[in-house]
A and B are shown apart, each in its own frame.
Chain A
Amino acid sequence: MDNVNVTAPVKRKRRGASLTEKKSRMGWIFILPFIIGLVLFYIAIVANNLQFSLAELRSRSMAQGGGYYLEWVGIDNYRYILTELQVPNAEGENVMFLEVLGTSFLDQIVDIVTIILLSLFVAVLLNQKMVGRAAFRAIFFVPVVIGAGIIAKIDSSGQNIILEAMSDGKTIETGAVAGGGGMTGLVSAMDVSMLFMNLGFGSGLVDVVVGLVSDIYDIVNRSGVQMLIFLSGLQSISPAIYESAQMEGATGWETFWKITFPMISPMILANAVYTVIDSMTSESNTVMQDILAMEGYSYKAAASSIYFFVTALAIVIVYLVMRGFVFYNRRND
C-alpha cells in the first residue's frame, strides 16, 4: 500500500478510508463467526463431500497396508445415478432417480402453494378478533415448537400400526405414513374422490385433491413458521390504512386484495423461499429418503450434489416468479 501512495501523492491527503467506509468494514467483524465456521470446517466438509461424489472408495489389500483410498472416477457416479440407478418412489415402486426427482418436485410445488395459501389464510383468521383467539394461536404454533419432525419420527418408527389398529378400516392409503399419519381414518379417500367425480372434475384434479386431503396433517404441521411470519407481517400493517379504506366504503374482499395482499407480498416471497428450502430438505421428502438410504458414500454424495442443484434451481425459479408480484412500501426509494 505504501508504494502506491508514494507514486500517487495526491491520494496521500486522504487518510485511508472515510468514516462510513470504516464503519461498513465493521460488518465483517459482525459476520466473523460465520466466516470462521466456513473456513474452519464447513467448506472442508462440503468439499470432502464433493470429492466423494467424484471418486470411489476402495479398500487396499492387506499386502499394501490395508485401509481405504479414494480413486478418481470423474463423473461416473453422476452418470450412474442419472441413467442407471433405480430408487423407490412414493408408492414404493422402483423407478429411475430422475423420475422420482421430477414427480417429487411437482408434488412439492403443489404442497408449497398449499402451505403458503393455508398459512396466509390461517394467519389472517388468527389476526382477527374472536373468541378463543389466544387458545387457537397457542395450538397453531405447537408444531413450530414441538417440531412435526419428531412426531413423524415417533410415528414412523412403528409404521403407525398403533394408529391403524386404533382407527377403523378404510383409510387413505397414500401419503399418510410419511406425514406422521395422525389423520388416518378421519376422511376416507373414497368419499373425497366420489364427491369430486360427481362434481365432474377430471381425474387429475381428483388425484391432486385427494393427495392434499390425505396430506393435510403434514401440510398443517409444516405451516407453523410461515404462519408466524405472516402474522408478524399482518401486525405491521398500519391500521390507519384499513380505516381509511373502510371510510371509502371498501368491502372486506377489496380490502384484502388491495391492501393486505400487496402489503404482505414481501412476506409471501420470503415464505415461498423458506418453504422451498424447508420442504426440499425435510426428511419426509421421498427424494431425501431415497438419497439417505443409498448405499455407498460416493453415490450418496453425488446424488446429494444433484439434489442440491435442483433445490437451488427451484429457489431461483420461485424467487424470479414471485419477485414480479412483490410490492415494497418504501418512502425513500
Chain B
Amino acid sequence: MDNNNASPRVTKETKNKIRVEFDRTPLKERLKAKYLNGFFYKKVALVIFRFVLLLGLSYIILFPFFSKISASFFSPKDFLQTDVKYIPKFPTIDQYKYLITENHYLKAMLNTFLLSGICAVLQMVVCAFIGYGFAKFKFKGNGIMFAVVLITMMIPHQFLESSMYLKFRYFVLDGTGIYSALGLTQGLINTFAPLVILSLTGLAFKNGLFIFIMRQFYKGVPDELEESSYVDGYGVFKTFFLIIIPLSVPMLVTVFILAFSWQWTDIFYVNMFLPSSKTLLLTSNAFWQQMPATLEAASAAQLSGATAASDLYVVAVRNTAGFLVIIPLIIMYLFCQRKLIQGIEHSGFGGM
C-alpha cells in the first residue's frame, strides 16, 4: 500500500497540539482487503458450519423436553383430534395439578432430595478418599485393587438384582433380632440403608467412575505439596483433610453434582430397595407410573370408548410425571452448570 511511503504531514496547531495528516487508504479499499479474500470466506463458512452443527445437536438434546412440555398441557379431548400436533387446542394444567396433589409430589420430592443428598455427600467423600489412596500411595496390590474397581464397574447391578436384594434383606445383623426391635419387618428393605451402605463403600451406581476421576485428579497434584506438609509435622490424614480436600473442591463439586443427579434419576435401586409407599420417591413406580384417579375419571368421561386416545393420554400423563421428576434437577443444573464445567475443566486429566 502507498501510504507507507508517503510521509505523514505534521502541522502544529497550537502550542501543545499537533495535527498529523496522512493519506489513509479509503474505507472501501480497506474493507475489501479485509473481507473479500479466501481466508475470510473460509473462516465465515467454518463459523456458520460450527454454529449450525452445534445448534442441530442442541436441538436433538432438547427436543424430548419440548415434546414433554407440550404433551403435559394436553387434555384428553386433544387426543381425539388428529390435527393437534404440538400445541393443544384445549390446554389445561390438570395433569400437573393432580400429579402433584394425588400422587404426593412434594413428599416424593422431599424424600428423593434427602436420599440423593445423603448418598451424594457420602459418595463424594468416600470416592475422594479411595481415589487419593490409589493415586498417592504405591502399596503392593494398588494395581490389582484398581482393576477390581474397574471390574465392579463392569458388572451391571441389574444382573445381581436378586442376590443383592437378598443380601440387604438379610444384612449381617439378621437373626440377632435387632431389625425386628427397630420395627423393620423386611431387614433393610424400605429404608435408605442399602443405598447408604453402597455409597459408603464406593460400590453404588458408577462410583468406579468417580474413583477414577478423583484418582486422576490427585495424580495431577504435585507430591511436593504433601512432602512439605509432612515436614511440617502433619500426618497423612491431617494432610488429606486440611490440605488436599480444600484443594480439590471444584472436583468434589463435580462428583457431587453427578452423584446427586444420578441418584435422583435412578429407577432401578429405588424400586428394588424402597418399594413401599411409605418411602415414596420420585422414581418410585407408585409416583411416576401411577395414573391419578381424577385424571383417570376425566379420561374415561371425555374419551368414552376411544381406547387409542385414552392409551395416548395415559402415556402423556406418564410423560408429565417423568418431566416433573426432572424439573428440580433442571433447575439445579441451571444454577450449578458453571461449577460443574469449571470443576471438570481443572481436573488435571492432562496428567494421565
List the interface of chain A (C-beta within 8 A of B).
23-31, 33-38, 40-42, 44-46, 48-49, 52, 122, 125-126, 128, 130-132, 134, 136-147, 149-151, 153-155, 157-159, 161-163, 165-166, 180, 182-183, 186, 216-217, 220-221, 225, 228-229, 231-233, 235-237, 263, 266-267, 270, 273-274, 277, 280-281, 283, 288, 291-292, 297, 300-301, 304, 307-308, 311-312, 315, 328-329
Contact = CB atoms under 8 A, between A and B. Distances in A.
25 contacts: A26-B236, A30-B132, A33-B200, A34-B201, A34-B203, A37-B200, A38-B201, A126-B54, A128-B50, A141-B337, A146-B333, A150-B283, A157-B322, A162-B67, A162-B315, A162-B316, A165-B312, A183-B63, A186-B63, A220-B57, A236-B349, A270-B212, A288-B156, A297-B162, A308-B154
Per DSSP, chain A at the interface is helix
Contacts of B234: none
B257 A145 contact: yes
B351 interface: yes
Contact of B318 (A149, A158, A292): A158
Contacts of B200: 33, 37
A33 B202 contact: yes
Interface in B57-81: 57-58, 60-64, 67-68, 70-71, 79
Per DSSP, chain B at the interface is helix
B201 A23 contact: no
Contacts of B202: 33-34, 37
Contact of B319 (A130, A149, A162, A329): A162
Contact of A27 (B139, B211, B334, B346): B139
B142 interface: yes
Contact of B67 (A134, A153, A163): A163
Contacts of B53: 125
A74 B57 CA distance: 50
Most chain A C-beta atoms within 10 Å of own C-beta, residue among B61, B166, B326 = B61
A267 B148 CA distance: 21
Contacts of A180: 64
Given A23-B137, A30-B137, A36-B201, A304 B171 contact: no
Contacts of B178: none
Interface stretch (B112-120, B260-268, B299-307): B260-268
Interface of B: 47, 50-51, 53-54, 57-58, 60-64, 67-68, 70-71, 79, 85-86, 126, 129-130, 132-134, 136-139, 142, 145, 148-156, 158-160, 162-164, 166-168, 171-172, 197-198, 200-203, 209, 211-212, 216, 236, 240, 257-258, 261-262, 265, 267, 283, 288-289, 311-312, 314-316, 318-319, 322-323, 325-326, 329-330, 333-334, 337-338, 340-341, 344-352
Contacts, number: 267
Given A33-B129, A312-B154, 8 more contacts: A27-B133, A30-B132, A146-B265, A151-B64, A151-B326, A154-B325, A182-B60, A288-B156
A253 to B, nearest CB: 12
A291 B61 contact: no
Contacts of B164: 45
Given A24-B137, A31-B130, A146 B330 contact: yes
Contacts of B64: 151, 155, 180, 182, 217
Nearest to A28: B139
Contacts of A35: 145
Given A146-B330, A231-B344, A236-B350, A24 B162 contact: no
Nearest to B59: A186
A158 B321 CA distance: 12
A54 to B, nearest CB: 14
A266 B349 CA distance: 9
A19 B153 CA distance: 34
B344 A40 contact: no
Contacts of B341: 137, 141, 228, 231
